[in-house]
Structure formats: structure tokens, C-alpha cells
């Protein structure tokens, strides 16, 4: 037994076919016998968050289901958790890489790819604070490398990030012409991140999100679209 309980459920995605998703049973699940999660900065309270379905993740998945396809575009999802948006992109044939710092995110992604009869999906370890690498498992995924046309994430501004690790990660991995898409449930850390992105040459365009998902519950947040064009 892995030390935690899971469930499988059919998850409705607005504008796309549903996905069969393996997730944690609830937020009370926790298992870190080798201390990998603790070494990566996950407390017992934050440990299960990667394995839950979140409204912002559903909103990002719906946005990527409707977003026009662009030939040759490379997309990276940061803090992917259960990676709904990555799975939607992958099913559309987009060149997508999912990334997360949680040691179990890769295994859950592999399971969900198989549950939905999809071909392999690229996954990389996504530690925003470079060059620290706290992984203890030699079989763990390699870190994110290269640059991407689009970097996306959902509810990734939940911490103050005083050191600007996320913006620094974007600086290392965004193409000169790039778009950063973040679905944010109106958290207070948005202004500081926007100032850092402005210093990197990204202009902010934001759209209020008020469309409820399949559960009928209201959503209050916004799509933050940061765009940079090469000179």
C-alpha cells in the first residue's frame, strides 16, 4: 500500500471531452516515508494539494480546450498537479510538457495518461528555485530544460514568493516571443508577480472569469495573460 488513498472519477471539461482522473481521496491523505516531499519543501499540510482537483485547474483546462492551435508551438505547464490542462493539450496534439516539484506528480500523470488511452506525455521536474535540486530518487524525472512559447499554470500564486522564484523560472524558460497564462482566483500575490513580469518585458492582459464549471459552483478569478514580443 502506498500509505494514501485515491479515487477515480470522470471529470467534465467545459468545451472538451471528459477525462478519467485518478486523484487523492481527500486533503487528509499524507505519506512521505523517505522524506522526499519534505526535502522539496512540502509540509504535511501542503503535501496532498498536488493530487486534488481545483476550480482554477478546471478553468485553465477549459481555456486550453478552446485556444486556437498554433503550428510548432511548445507549451510548458508549471505546478501542474493533476495536469488537467496538459492532458487537454496533449489530446489535441499540442507539444506539451507538464512539470511539478512534488515527487508523486509524475506517477499520477502516468496513471492518468494510461486511464485516458493517450500516448506518453512529457514530464519534467519543475523546481522554480534554481539550481537547487532536492530529489533523492535517481529514477526521478530530469529538470525542465530549454525554452517554451507558452508557459501556463493555475493557482500558482498562492505563496508570497519573496525571492521571485516563479518569475525567475519564467525568465529562464520563456522564448523571446512568449506568452504566460495563469488562472488566478484573485489571490493577493498577483501584483508583486506582475511587477516582476513587467521588468522581464511582459505586458499584462487580464480577463475576469465568472463561468461555473460542471459542478455548478461559481468561480471568481481571472485569466492573467502576460505577453512579450522580441524587439
Whether residue 128 is contained in a domain is answered as: yes
Whether residue 13 is contained in a domain is answered as: no
pLDDT of residue 137: 55
Instruction: Count how many domains the chain has.
Output: 1
DSSP assignment string, 77-117 = ESS-TT-HHHHHHHHTT-EEEEEESSTTHHHHHHHHHHHTT
Rounded to an integer, what distance in angstroms lies between the CA atom of residue 188 and that of residue 184? 10
Answer positive or negative: Cα dihedral of 224, 199, 164, 229: positive
Q: Which range is least confidently modeled, 129-138, 155-164, 195-204?
A: 129-138
Q: What is the pTM of this model?
A: 0.94
Whether residue 36 is contained in a domain is answered as: no
Nearest to 83 by CA among 98, 102, 62: 98
* CATH number where 98 lies: 3.40.50.150
Mean pLDDT of 69-85: 97
Rounded to an integer, what distance in angstroms lies between the CA atom of residue 174 and that of residue 154? 17
Amino acid at each position: 500500500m502506498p500509505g494514501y488513498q485515491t479515487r477515480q472519477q470522470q471529470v467534465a471539461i467545459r468545451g472538451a471531452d471528459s477525462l478519467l482522473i485518478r486523484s487523492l481521496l481527500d486533503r487528509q491523505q499524507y505519506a512521505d516515508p523517505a522524506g522526499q516531499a519534505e526535502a522539496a519543501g512540502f509540509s504535511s499540510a501542503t503535501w496532498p494539494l498536488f493530487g486534488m482537483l481545483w476550480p482554477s485547474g478546471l478553468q485553465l483546462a477549459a481555456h486550453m480546450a478552446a485556444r486556437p492551435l498554433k503550428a510548432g508551438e511548445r507549451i510548458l505547464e508549471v505546478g501542474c498537479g493533476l495536469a488537467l490542462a496538459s492532458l487537454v493539450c496533449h489530446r489535441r496534439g499540442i507539444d506539451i510538457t507538464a512539470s511539478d516539484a512534488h515527487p508523486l506528480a509524475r506517477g499520477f500523470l502516468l496513471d492518468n495518461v494510461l486511464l485516458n488511452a493517450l500516448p506518453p506525455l512529457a514530464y519534467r521536474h519543475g523546481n522554480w528555485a534554481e539550481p537547487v535540486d532536492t530529489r533523492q530518487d535517481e529514477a526521478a524525472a530530469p529538470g525542465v530544460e530549454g525554452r517554451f512559447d507558452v508557459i501556463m499554470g493555475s493557482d500558482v500564486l498562492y505563496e508570497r514568493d519573496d525571492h521571485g522564484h516563479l518569475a525567475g523560472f519564467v525568465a529562464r524558460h520563456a522564448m523571446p516571443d512568449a506568452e504566460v497564462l495563469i488562472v488566478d482566483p484573485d489571490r493577493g500575490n498577483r501584483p508583486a508577480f506582475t511587477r516582476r513580469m513587467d521588468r522581464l518585458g511582459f505586458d499584462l492582459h487580464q480577463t475576469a472569469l465568472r463561468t461555473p464549471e460542471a459542478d455548478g459552483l461559481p468561480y471568481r478569478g481571472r485569466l492573467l495573460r502576460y505577453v512579450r514580443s522580441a524587439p
